[in-house]
Amino acid sequence: MLCENVLYTQKTLAERYGISIAALQRWYPYAGIVKPRKRGGYFDAAAVEIADIFYVAIKIRRLTCKEYLQQVIPAGGLDAYLQKVNDVSLYDFLTKHISNEEKNNLIVQAVIKRIERNEAYKPTSTTVAGVA
């Protein structure tokens, strides 16, 4: 089971993605990641979530940083971009359209679990048709 309550520094976040700290720092302007204010500070959960989506976009969907900035962000995010360009949701893309090796990637699994958790908490419609 993945522990979602992990605190990440630049070093540990770079290790999570298998990249150098310098490469992670190059992600910031493209992904919209906010660096911790204090030296040695920790990234908040929102920054990790953004970084995970950016990782999926560039490593799994194989978009360039420039494509992410110019196409994914204006589309409203990776899910909206995939629906517009590929007619598939991010969840379906990650669960049905990538290799098993990619599906087993730690980051891909975290994004899938996050989507499933968010879907589970969406309010259901309580309106019943035909009731007066």
For residue 94, what are the domain limits?
10-120
Mean pLDDT of 103-131: 78
35/84 Cα distance (integer angstroms): 30
Q: Decide if 48 is inside a domain.
A: yes
- Whole-number Cα distances in Å, 61 to 8, 12, 70, 130: 24, 23, 15, 44
Better-predicted residue by pLDDT, 70 or 121: 70
Q: What is the pTM of this model?
A: 0.84
Q: Is residue 132 part of a domain?
A: no
3-state secondary structure of 124: coil
Backbone angles phi, psi at 99, to 5 degrees: -65, 160
**Is 101 domain-assigned?**
yes
**Is 36 a domain residue?**
yes
Q: Give the pLDDT mean for 60-86.
A: 96
Total number of domains in the chain: 1
